[in-house]
Amino acid sequence: MGEPELPGGVAAILAERRRQVDEALERWLPRQGDHPPKIHEAMRYSVFAGGKRLRPILALLACEAVGGSPEDAMPAAAALEMVHTYSLIHDDLPAMDDDDYRRGRRTCHRVYGEAIAILAGDALLTHAFQVLTDAAGARLPPDGRLRIIAEIAEAAGSRGMVGGQAMDILAEGCEIDRPTLLYLHTHKTGALIRASVRVGGIAGGAEEEQLQVLTRYAERVGLAFQIVDDILDIEGATAEMGKTAGSDLRRKKATYPAVMGLEESRRQAAHLLEEARDALRPLGEKGASLAALADFVGSRRH
Ligand code: GRG
């Protein structure tokens, strides 16, 4: 899978952060041979399939943007990637999107069967919270840990990502209006991205005002990310994206291009990313890496 052409410096930030996140995942996931081996193999198969690690990287950069040490946000970063990977495994199942490829390889259920894939997703979601209670305890005080757990639980649940996914499924094949589309995108994808930035800020000891700045940024990046994803589903190549292109169109999915056209979708994504960068101004130079990440979201090819 080819890397996108990235604005200066972002490629290096992403590569280094991905390496750190992968090390943490390696440390905190169950081992390949842990009993029973098949379920742990399936969990690790999907986690180490080459994701961008966008959500954990957002958490680490948000933590640093408010003066924290990235190590303080690492348990939350790893937990976010576990929750994200669970959502992808379940999203690919025959009962949902029924996809054969994800992250450039065969989907979890195609390799391990549906039952084990469902369980691998369940176990990743559960393990994420175990990591938050165990490993995070070493660095953060209990109130910080509790806030992080609450943020991630709310974002992943039926008032967040699961709610968005449910609405997405219920809306398939229907005419949908713009408010419904906005709900769908801000919940299915936006909620976990918003939580990633916020928990990074909380881990870094953000003041309330700093948290508001980060939240404004995150909400715009989260929505732009999903609009870009909708556009890539039309314009992207299957090989580059690592999943089957054109599947939204085939399933008559509720997407930005379907509701407002490609040009308007591109314009809205660019506008949201500009607003996201603007929102970071109060953080000064410390917001530079998050601003660069907004550029990455706008330029990504997969
Ligand atoms: C099944 C509860 C449940 C939720 C699924 C996230 C989600 C909700 C579905 C994924 C469907 C999808 C492909 C949405 C588009 C945006 C998105 C989340 C893309 C995948 O995220 P990336 O691009 O993936 O960050 P990598 O592989 O890089 O981690």
- 189 in ligand 1 pocket by Cβ < 6 Å? yes
Could you tell me which residues are beta bridge partners of residue 101? 106
Across residues 35-43, what is the average pLDDT? 97
Ligand 1 centroid to 274 CA: how many Å?
23
What's the angle, vertex CA 150, arms to CA 145 and CA 153, rounded to 5?
125
**127 or 176: whose pLDDT is higher?**
127
Ligand 1 centroid to 212 CA: how many Å?
25
Here the tokens at position 161 are 């990502």
Residue with tokens 């961008």: 52
- 165 in ligand 1 pocket by Cβ < 6 Å? yes
- For the ranges 28-37, 136-145, 246-255, the lowest mean pLDDT is seen at 246-255
Share of the chain above pLDDT 90, in %: 78
Ligand 1 centroid to 161 CA: how many Å?
10
pLDDT value, residue 106: 97
Top mutation candidate among 188, 255, 256 for ligand 1, by most atoms within 8 Å of CB: 188
- Comparing C-alpha atoms, which of 157, 142, 143, 120 is closest to residue 44? 120
| 297 and 224 Cβ atoms separated by less than 8 Å | yes
110-138 tens-digit pLDDT: 999 999 999 999 999 999 999 999 865 56
Across residues 201-225, what is the average pLDDT? 97
Q: Is the pLDDT of residue 250 over 70?
A: no
**302 or 36: whose pLDDT is higher?**
36
pLDDT value, residue 234: 87
Which atom of ligand 1 is nearest to 156's Cα? 2
Distance separating alpha carbons of residues 189 and 225, to the nearest angstrom:
8
- Comparing C-alpha atoms, which of 216, 235, 232, 226 is closest to residue 269? 226
CA nearest ligand 1 atom 4, residue = 87
**12 or 252: whose pLDDT is higher?**
12
pLDDT value, residue 1: 35
Ligand 1 centroid to 229 CA: how many Å?
9
Here the tokens at position 108 are 């979890």
Here the tokens at position 119 are 């369980």
- Supply the pTM of this predicted model: 0.93
Q: Is the pLDDT of residue 227 over 50?
A: yes
Residue with tokens 């990504």: 300
Longest dimension (CA), the chain: 51
pLDDT band at 172 (very low <50, low <70, confident <90, very high): confident
What mean pLDDT value characterizes the chain? 91
Tell the burial category of 12 from Cβ atoms under 10 Å away from its Cβ (0-12, 13-18, 19+).
Answer: exposed
CA nearest ligand 1 atom 18, residue = 189
Distance separating alpha carbons of residues 191 and 161, to the nearest angstrom:
6
- 49 in ligand 1 pocket by Cβ < 6 Å? no
Which atom of ligand 1 is nearest to 93's Cα? 1
**19 or 298: whose pLDDT is higher?**
19
**250 or 150: whose pLDDT is higher?**
150
